[in-house]
Amino acid sequence: MDANITELDALQRTLNHAIDTFRSELAAAKLPPLSLNATEPHPLDDCTYLPPPRLYEARRLALGLYAFYVAQIGAYSGQLKSLLQFPFEKVVEEAYGVYDQACLDVMIHTGLVECLAGAPDRQKGLHVSEIQKALDIDSRKLTIILRYLSTGCWVRETDEGVFALNRPSLELLQGTNGRRFLSNPHGPGLASALVEWLQHPEWKYSDSVAHTPVQIVHKTDLPIFDWLKTRPDDLFLVAEGIRSFGDAHVRGVIADYPWGSLEGQTVVDCGGGQGSLAVQLAKSFPDLRFIIQDLPEVVVLAKANIDSQLPAAQVEGQVLAETQDFFTPQTRKGDGYTYLFRYVLNIADAAGPKVCATHIPLILPLKPWLQSKLIIIETVSVPGISQGPNTLGPQIMGLDTLNDDAYQPVSPPPFIPANLGAASKHREGLVLHLLAVANAHGRTQVGGLEETRRIRWIPDHKGVSLAS
């Protein structure tokens, strides 16, 4: 690329290439074109669909300037928009961002999304007067909320005062992962406490799970999971949110590790929650056995989930659920076990070493070191470093060099951060949320490798995931 190319020209050139690649990959996969106006989900919206690597990466890179669902677009929406936008407008937009989830809550908690989904003509939608009659909510207020939602492409105004669902809103309907993820009622409150928490005179440098926004907002001394034990309804909602995040990414996790190489092993899913990953793996690899370990309150949910997904699995012993305290020695140890930690070790740094010290050495004593394995699945932060065309050097991996053999992320083009900017917001949002609820300190790939060396683990498989 020309070293003298301007930032706007570079973004436009790469954007055009990403969209062209995305379009050609859609055709190669025999998938229909994307449309916001579609009344049914696109195949790409299905969390069980595993896209080819070039399609996945082109999708991450592609810009839609709100033409595509925000969870499906990539880096350029953030980079190009920030380049062109009046800075004061960006400040105002971010300030009003507190209403984003609030308006989505209106959609799901008032029945608004189901009301619009039930319109006789989904393409046309419903007039706000019809919505008022159905939901008993002031149409004047609804109009303002719906117009705000239209700026994020959740709905569109087909005529004055007439609103229809856009395709992304189908993910807000009952039974979807998006609906389950949004069911957790505590996110906005925790976010509002960040300033007070960061400046707390006694907690500002603490790593304790009992010194977080959770304690400030809910006026409790209990860590998050102990507090949830006292509120079973909230525990269920939080568990559903965690499950939805895992369910949305499970196909990438299954594809990115050679699970078939563990034939005959028992996989112990440490902190496995409701067992969604174990259940999906059991469906794909019937020769493996799984034991889901978690807190007593969560094990109840896991057993119910297993019964609903694989009714015979518990009876036949293929998938079991049991209680395990991860600050006490592991009860399952010896040859024949593989231990899975998914989003478990990325907890508060004060607690993480304790888990490692009391739990993992008894899994991997020195003698059977080579017979036992740990599989660690974590969200890894990528530093958002960007380079211009004159400092970038040759690209190692571009869209044109990807193939269908194995997934590899593309190298960031000029002026695009290494984390692909807006494309990583969902990942960095998760890291920020874990910080708020449990003082969890996100790790980069470099930091994670340093930690494995420090505690003498020997990595034998390292991969980047389609799940990220």
Q: Tokens in use for 198? A: 């960061």
Q: What is the pLDDT of residues 89-139, one digit of tens each?
A: 888 888 888 899 999 999 999 999 999 999 999 999 999 999 999 999 999
Q: In the predicted model, is pLDDT for residue 244 greater than 90?
A: no
Mean pLDDT of the chain: 81
pLDDT band at 377 (very low <50, low <70, confident <90, very high): confident
Task: Specify the pLDDT at position 165.
Answer: 97
Q: What is the pLDDT of residues 17-26, one digit of tens each?
A: 888 888 888 8
Q: Tokens in use for 371? A: 């017979």
Q: What is the average pLDDT across 167-192?
A: 88
Q: In the predicted model, is pLDDT for residue 221 greater than 70?
A: yes
- The lowest-confidence range among 69-73, 112-116, 266-270 is 69-73
Q: What is the average pLDDT across 176-195?
A: 86
Taking the domains of the chain in order of start, what are their residue ranges?
A: 7-87, 97-174, 225-380+443-468
Predicted model pTM? 0.77
Q: In the predicted model, is pLDDT for residue 69 greater than 50?
A: no
Q: What is the average pLDDT across 167-193?
A: 88
- The lowest-confidence range among 38-42, 81-85, 243-247, 376-380 is 81-85
Topology, domain 97-174 = Arc Repressor Mutant, subunit A (1.10.10)
Output b/e per residue, 165-190; b: 16+ Cβ within 10 A. Answer: bbbbbbbbbeebbbbbbbbbebbeeb
Q: Superfamily assignment of 225-380+443-468 in CATH?
A: Vaccinia Virus protein VP39 (3.40.50.150)
Q: What angle do CA 174, 229, 99 make, to 5 degrees?
A: 45
pLDDT band at 373 (very low <50, low <70, confident <90, very high): confident
Task: Specify the pLDDT at position 66.
Answer: 30
Task: Specify the pLDDT at position 38.
Answer: 85
Q: In the predicted model, is pLDDT for residue 220 greater than 50?
A: yes
Q: Which of 4-13, 29-38, 146-155, 379-388 has the highest mean pLDDT?
A: 146-155
Percent of the chain at pLDDT exceeding 90 = 33
Could you check whether 97-174 and 225-380+443-468 share the same CATH topology?
Answer: no
Q: In the predicted model, is pLDDT for residue 205 greater than 90?
A: yes
